[in-house]
Amino acid sequence: MTKNKRKLIFTKMHGLENDFMIVNTLTQKFFFTKKIIQFFSNRYIGIGFDQLLLVEKPVFKNTNFHYRIFNANGSEVEQCGNGARCFAKFIFDQKLLNSKIIKVSTKNRIIKLKVINSDNILVNMGSPEFHPKKIPFLELFEKDIYSLSMNKEIIFFGVVSLGNPHCVVIVDDINKARVNEIGSYLESHVSFPNQVNVGFMQIINKNHIFLRVFERGVGETRSCGSGACAAVAIGIRQKKLLNKVRVDLAGGKMLVKFDVKKNCLYMIGPAKKIYDGIIYY
């Protein structure tokens, strides 16, 4: 049955029910294509996950590992906050590094991860970038609030990059937010050349928000770490939030802090191992 097929060892994990397949490429070769990732991500005939995470050898001298992220549709993306926490727990559990502080490079930035305990991980998400060119977003001037028209309806939102692009829409009631309709429209809008993750934020008070996220290449997920940080960054920029915010998502809650002096966002939340597995492909 498995003759002439490749064997792959993997670990299934989740961060607030945002689930991942993690593959250690330091100890095995992984010959993958977009089609193979789509097969693995299929929840009916494959493993099922929101993102595939690869542990690779460092590409910079001052880092411990390189961290690659692929969406369920096979597209490679720049960042995933929930994935970063799972990445850190995987490194810690597998004893791949004799330290609770882990420095990794992603597609476009370097981030620091810290294992607080067996369940909670702190991620230094770096500095939020608000200029349209950094998103990228096809707007000439930087603003706090932008707008686009959808079927004669005006949608207002903020934009930010945390290594990956986000736009955040503030809503009155998270349960009534048209996440799939507006999310899919903005995700692939021509104004976002690399597509965009779309967050829907309900502000409870200046230290507490509810959030739903429509992730590019995936759709709505149970939670999104970088999306939580993006929502807080935009809320602070619009003077609607303070520098320490509890973020409630469908999959659970996390804490996001903003260090004004360092201009850095920090995310603290859980990471859980589900199982180890072997698949032949």
Measured CA to CA, the distance from residue 208 to residue 256 in angstroms comes to: 10
Residue 113 and residue 85 in contact, taking contact as beta carbons nearer than 8 Å = yes
DSSP bridge pairs for 83: none
Q: Give CA–CA dist 115/101, Å, rounded.
A: 7
Buried b (16+ CB within 10 A) or exposed e, 143-173: eeebebeeeeeebebbbbbbbbbbbbbbbee
- 277: Cα separation from own chain's centroid: 23
Please give the structure tokens belonging to residue 243. Answer: 């520098």
Instruction: State the catalytic residue, choosing from 86, 224, 229, 264.
Output: 224
| CA–CA gap between residue 237 and residue 234 (Å, rounded) | 5
Active site residue 224: yes
Give the span between the Cα atoms of 167 and 187, in whole angstroms: 9
Task: Give yes or no for a contact between 192 and 221, defined as CB atoms under 8 angstroms apart.
Answer: no
Choose, from 80, 86, 167, 229, the residue flagged as catalytic: 80
Torsion (CA) 229, 218, 112, 166 in degrees, nearest 10: -40
Catalytic residue numbers read 80, 224
